Structure formats: C-alpha cells, structure tokens
Amino acid sequence: MSSFFGPRWVAALGLGLSASVAASAQSSADLLAPVRGQVTDAAAAKPLPGAVVRWLGTTDAATTDNAGTFALPRPARAEASRLVINALGYKADTIAVATTGTPYVRVALRAGAELGEVKVEGRAPSYSSLTPTNSQVITSRDLTKSACCNLAESFETNAAVEVSTTDAVSGAKQIQLLGLDGAYSLLTIDNLPALRGLSTPYRLNYLSGTWIESIDIIKGMGSVVNGYESIAGQVNVRLKEPDKTERLLFNAYGNDLGKFDLNLNVSAPVGKKVSTALLLHSDHLGRRVDRNKDGFMDLPLATQYNVFNKWKYLSGKGIVSEIGLGALRETREGGQTSFRANETDAYTRNYGFTNRTDRYTGFAKTSYTWPGRPYQSLGLLLSGTHHDFTSSYSYKPAPFEPRRYDGTQRTAQATLLFQSVLGTTAHTYRTGLSYLYDNYQELFSNGFTYANETPAARYAREHRNRLENVPGAFAEYTYQNSRNLILVGGLRLDRHNLYGWQLTPRFNLKYDATKNSVLRLAAGTGFRVANPIADNIGSLLSAREFVIAPNLRPEKAWNVGGSITQYFQLAGRTATFVADYYHTAFQNQMVADMYTAPSLLLIGNLEPGGRSFSRSFQAELQTEPVKGLTAKVAYKYLDVKSTYDGQLLRRPMTVPHRVFFNVGYATAFDKWRADLTVQAYGQRPLAPHPGEMGHQHGTNEMALPYSPRFALLNTQVTRAFKRFEVYVGVENLTNYRQDNPIQSAAAPFSPNFDAAMVYGPTYGRLTYAGLRFRIE
C-alpha cells in the first residue's frame, strides 16, 4: 500500500529543514561576549539575589546569584540593546547597554509597594528558551486567530496537540499528545490538576476560550509537584487574572449550523488589595442539522451555562491569596432527527442519546514570600470538585431498555509546598506534601435483565464504585548556572490505598550549546488509574458490547525524549526551528481491543509479554519573513502500537503522518488580521465495524481498513476598532466530508451499527461571525 508521506519524502523534508537551519544559524553567528553586571538594593546598598534581568522584547533572561551578579548572553535579535530588571518588592528599571564590547552594568533597584509595569511591544517566541521542559505557549493573541469558543478550539493553530471527535453522535472531543489519548495528558488550570477522571470525555467544552489568558503545552512527564498522572505531557490553562485582565469583555459568536455563544467577563478592584473577576459563558445549539442526509443529526442539540468567579488578594507584605468558585450545567441530545427524548419509549422507537452534566468546582491558593528573600516561599493549594452526570443511549429495540451510563465523582486535593535555595540561587529546591481524595460512583447498564439474576447480583454487575485515598510527598532539586545549564531532578512517593506504594522519578535537562541553540532531555515515569468506560466513551455509540476484565491494574509507563531548539536569522528576521522525539513505553496499559471481535469491546490489562508504546517525532519551523507576516510549518510522525490477541498492531484512529501549516498577517496597530491554517492527514487505521470479520491473527497491519488521506483548511479575518473587533471565518474551506460516518445509519438497532469510527468532518463547511467588545 502506498503512503501519502513516503520514507523518501520524510527524509528529504528532514534534510532540507536541517540544512536550512544550519546555514542560517552559521550566517547569523554573533561572537559578542555576554553582558555582565550586578543588581543591588538602592536603600541598603547590598547585593540583590533573585532579580530577573531580561532583554527588552525577548524572553532571554538571567537571574542574579547570591552576590547579585549575572551574565546574560546577547540575544539573537541584534537590535536589542535595552535590559529590563525586575525583582519582587522592587520597582522595575530599564537601562540601555552598549551593543559592542564587553560592558559591565550596575543597577540599584528601589523598593516599591507594587512592581512597575513594563509594556513590551512585540511577539514573544512560542517556544520558551528559559524553561527546562520542552514548552510551547499559546498566547491570548493566538487564541483570537480562530473562533476559540472553548478549549477544544484553542489548539487549531497549534501543531503539537491534535483534537479529535470520539463519535458522530455525542459531539465529545479529546486531545491527543505524543499520539496518546487525552486521558494520558495532565490538564491543569492555573497549575492545579482539573477536569480529570469522569469529566474527561467532554472536558474540552467546559472552559470558554474568552476565559483563557494563555495555554502552556509541555511534552514529556513534567514536574513531580503536579502529581503522578502525567504520562504524555501537561496542558496548563492560565485563566485571566482579576488584577490584570480587561475591565469588561463581551463576545458574541454564531455559525451557520445555528449555534451561538455569549461570553461576558467583568473585573474590578475591591479596595487597594483585593480584585475580582466574574466570567460568564453560555452556548446553545437548538437546530437539528443533517447535511449528509443519513437521518442523524450532524451535531447534538446542546445548551450550556457556565460561571466562574475568581478573587485575588495582594497584601503587599509577601502574602498572595486566590480563591475561585465555578458552576456548570450542560445538556445534550443527539441521534436520529426524529428522536425526541421526552416521548414514550423514545430510545427504542428511534435511535437517540442524552446527557446531562452538573459540575461544581472551587480552589484556594495562598502563598507567603519571605521579605528580602524572593526565592523562598511557602504555599498551600486546595481544590475540590463535584462532577455528576446521567446519560442514556439507544442500544437494542423494544423490549430492551436503553443503555445507561451515570456517574458521580467527588475529588479533593491539597498540596503544601515550600521552596528555597541551597546557599545561592544556583541551587534551588521544592518539597512538600500532597493528598488526593477521589470517590467514583458509576452505573453502567446494558439494558439486559438476566434470568434468575437477583437484585443484589444485578447491582454488583452494574455498579463500579472506587474510593482512592493517596497521601504523598515529593522533592525537586534544580541546578542553574549563570550561563547555559539547568538540571531538574524530582522524586515523589505516594501511598495508594488500593495499589500500594508508588515511586515516581522524573528528570529534565536544558543545555544551551550556544546562545541560540538549546538542547533538552527528559525522562520519567507516570502512573494513573484508568476509567474503562469514560476513557472509551465513543464506543457506547455503536452496537459493541463492553466486556471489561476483572482486576484491572493501574497504567504505568516510562517516557524518554528530548528536543533541539535553534533560534536564528532568516532573511534578517528572527526564526525558530524545533525538533523533538519522545518514546513512551507502557509497563501496563488498559487496552481496548476492537480488532479481535468487532462486536465486542474487550477491555483488559496489557497481555503478559505484550508491548504497548508510542513514538513521536515532530519538526517545526516558525518565522516572520516580513514585518506583520508570521508563518509556521510542521511535520509530525506517530508510531503508536499495542498488542492485541498476541499481535502487535497500530492503534486504531491514530494518524501516522500529519503536516501542519499556518500563516498570519497583521497590519499596523492590528487593525486588520488574517489567518490561514492547513492540516493534511495521512491514512489512519480503522477498526472493523461490528458484525464484520475481525482482524485475522497472523496477518500484518496492512490488512487493516484505512481511512483516506485528506486536508482541512480554516481561515479567519478580523477587523479591529477602538473598543471592539469584528471577525468572520470559515472552517473546512473545501467542504470535505467523511463518507458514511455512521455505519448502518438506516438500521441503527442492527448488530452492524457503528458511529465510533469518525476520522473527519461530518457536516462539511462551517462559516461563522462574531463580535468582541472590551474596555481595558
């Protein structure tokens, strides 16, 4: 079978990019010595450790040591000649530096109740040159390049994360990082674990895009401070800060499917030390759309009401506190256009699906920083969640009952964190204690009542309850010299009440080979308790019967990888090239097998002697060829396989080859902005539909059914005025649709029905328009 992206094409692309980077980097080599200096306290006339010295308009920075001294390499941008100096509790200062020679600068900072604000004009690199992890930032500006009604749409202009639809009925979406499903990526909000467990299937819809300040994407295991569940990476969503965000933001959005979104953010100071922000969101789709004429709605009817209130307290004497409270209600109804959930025998007369979710969240964060010691602090982080949902799925015709899946999750988390230095700021550490309480109560009924089954036996068959109590301790050490090396080693030990002691080591290294070349290495382990039904929610929209093995063990994996980041000059302007490779090997995994017996979903532990792994390679080039025009192109290769019935096969629905391209243009003062994103997908393996013959043992993976190759084009144009913006956009510009996304749509109660093999758009081209109004 031919491949859309053959080996020769891949090799040519890699050699071409490497040659271009090497040539450009060499031509832009700058032999100027780094700038050195000292930062002092103006009043006390003593050295000031922990101050941050940064080149204006870049992210190139250094931190002063115990003697207040620093050494900062020249940036790739030759025109940068001003330094910004910040320290907690002091007024910021900006000084000019000679562009030649070896200057030595001395800066005396004056104490201030509040830090002065330095407004930097320009676009910061998406890939951080400072963090020891391979991190990419999606900024608030990036979020306006597409509709970004919710978190699911916030990754459309990013190559690292792919968002896929789980089925053609429910509208559930999930992210994919390093080729692994979203459950293997730790999702945090303001660095607190959130939207995990039973909320995973629909969690990307629970955060409005207008609430988000930025998104940090970390590949690899990350830090032990955030817990043990991260395997593929971490996605940290930074919500808007009450004391820094706009006073008012109103956003209205509508598309040609009949869906509309309304958002209102309001923030205000409450006295000199307290500020608050109220974030409101509502969306609604009440139109039954069936563009492909298969008798099924292309998207479910849905209504959501979502509110979040955030408070922040700054004492001015080292104490900072934040409190947040949120509530959400969402309803969904999908299936055949003739389905009406309120009718008698609705689920057996027509095929339908309903879901109702109620969610309540809260958090509190308090930190204290020692006066005169900005590097030493103590923090207490608390969070709690109550997540409850009920859902019903048509499964068999009368007299069978519909398939039900209901769940309640109550979670509480606490972390006590202390950080300080060992002698100088070159040696820092973080240590602390954590506690996790997870109470899961699930009801899963397949609609059958077995003869001679007692009520107690049926209750035991249909209920899956689990209570986790996990106290833990962690420590993390960081070494950072003033030139080119950062080492981070972490270790955490947790006592799981169900699975015993769990040891989680993690390591990250960042080495600046030159001032423009950054190498990173990462290694570590991850551990998570899987939720077999929630993690495979899409298969409920099929005729497959769930067969869950008893005594499922936790999932454990090693992740090892690294990256190279090269900053260079291309046509006289700054450009960035990044290439990374990560290998994730599972010691145990919950494997969902749709190959062996397509009428069943066999969920069990990885077979003894079996293998399950993910190999991920990505290369990306970002550049600004002319002022106002930005472009990035990326290629991603994924090799994701698991052992099914003794044979190693590619995981279904995972795309081995993907090409990404984005170009954006903005006129002076951002009055006009335009963006175009192209994503090309290679063939991906599909599982056989229920009722078909399963994969024949002994035949290779080429015998699997594969999806066709296709490409998607999205574009948006924005016109900005003094206080408001108007934007219009088109998704799927070429109107591509997957053929027959629902197998046996005309006979949904037949044993061949399957709506879970969705690889592309089901409703074709989508056009939208919106308005943003803000008061700073």
pLDDT at 44 over 70: no
Q: Is the pLDDT of residue 16 over 50?
A: no
User: Is 70 exceeded by the pLDDT of residue 697?
Assistant: no
pLDDT band for position 68 (50/70/90)?
confident
What band does 723 get if pLDDT is binned at 50, 70 and 90?
very high
Residue 55: DSSP 8-state = E
Assigned CATH for 32-122 = 2.60.40.1120
Could you identify the residue written with the tokens 């969402």?
Answer: 330
158-204 pLDDT per residue, tens: 999 999 999 999 999 999 999 999 999 999 999 999 999 999 999 99
CB distance 29 to 567 below 8 Å: no
**What is the mean predicted confidence (pLDDT) over 409-423?**
96
CB contact burial 456-469 (16+ within 10 A = b; e otherwise): eeeeeeeebeeebe
| Paired tokens of 467 | 């209570």
Confidence at residue 78, expressed as pLDDT on a 0 to 100 scale = 43
**The two structure tokens encoding residue 497:** 């009440």
Lowest mean pLDDT among 57-61, 271-275, 502-506: 57-61
Q: How far from chain centre, in Å, is Cα 297?
A: 28
pLDDT tier for residue 55 given thresholds of 50, 70 and 90: confident
Nearest to 179 by CA among 701, 655, 687: 655
State the residue for tokens 């046509």.
571
Section 596-614 average pLDDT: 95
- How big, in percent rounded to 5, are the helix, strand and coil portions of the chain? 10, 55, 40
For residue 15, the 8-state DSSP code is H
CA 316 to chain CA centroid, nearest Å: 33
Domain boundaries, the chain: 32-122, 134-775
Per-residue pLDDT for 315 more than 80? Answer: yes
Residue 593's pLDDT band (boundaries 50, 70, 90)?
very high
Give the distance, in angstroms, between the CA of residue 142 and the centroid of all CA atoms in the same chain.
Answer: 14
- CA 511/CA 517 separation, integer angstroms: 8
Question: Six-digit token pair at 620?
Answer: 């990306």
Mean pLDDT of 74-103: 71
pTM assigned to the model = 0.84
SS (H, E, C) 23-51: HHHHHCCCCCCCEEEEEEECCCCEECCCC
Residue in the block written with tokens 């491949």: 3
d(CA 776, CA 621): 34
Question: 766 is written with which tokens?
Answer: 């989508």
How far apart (Å, rounded) are the C-alpha atoms in residues 456 and 458? Answer: 5
Burial class (CB in 10 A: 0-12, 13-18, 19+), 265: buried
What's the Cα-to-Cα distance from 773 to each of 146, 652, 710, rounded to whole Å?
A: 16, 44, 37
Q: How far is CA 677 from the centre of its chain?
A: 19
Residue 17 has pLDDT above 60, yes or no: no
Bridge partners (DSSP) of residue 392 are 354, 404
- At residue 21 the predicted structure's pLDDT band, cuts being 50, 70 and 90, is very low
Indicate the SS3 state at residue 7. helix
pLDDT at residue 751 tops 60: yes
CATH code that applies to domain 134-775: 2.40.170.20
Question: What pLDDT digit, counting tens, does each position of 460-472 carry?
Answer: 889 999 999 999 9
For residue 333, how far is the Cα from the chain centroid?
A: 27
What strands lie across the sheet with 600-605, from one edge to the other?
545-548, 600-605, 590-593
Res 140: pLDDT = 85
Q: Which residues contact 272 (CB under 8 A, 6 or more apart)?
A: none
Question: Which residues are CB-neighbours of 714 under 8 A, at least 6 positions away?
Answer: 146, 156, 676, 677, 729, 730, 731, 732, 733
Which of 307, 248, 241, 246 shows the shortest CA–CA distance to 274?
241
* d(C-alpha 433, C-alpha 380), whole Å: 10
The 10s digit of each residue's pLDDT in 367-387 is: 999 988 888 999 999 999 999
Could you tell me the pLDDT band of residue 130, with boundaries at 50, 70 and 90?
confident
How far is residue 341's CA from residue 350's CA, in Å, rounded to a whole number?
10
- On the question of pLDDT at 502 being above 60, the answer is yes
> What is the full DSSP assignment across 113-170?
SSPPP----SPPPSB-SS-SSEEEEE-HHHHTTS---BGGGGGTT-SS-EEEES-SSS
Query: From CA 161, how far away is CA 636, in angstroms rounded?
Result: 11
Provide DSSP, 417-484.
EEEEEESEEEEEEEEEEEEEEEEEEEEEE-S---TT--HHHHHHHHEEEEEEEEEEEEEEEEEE-SSS
- At 513 the three-state DSSP class reads strand
Residue 551's Cα: distance from chain center in Å? 30
Identity of residue 91: K
Whether the per-residue pLDDT at 45 is higher than 80: the answer is no
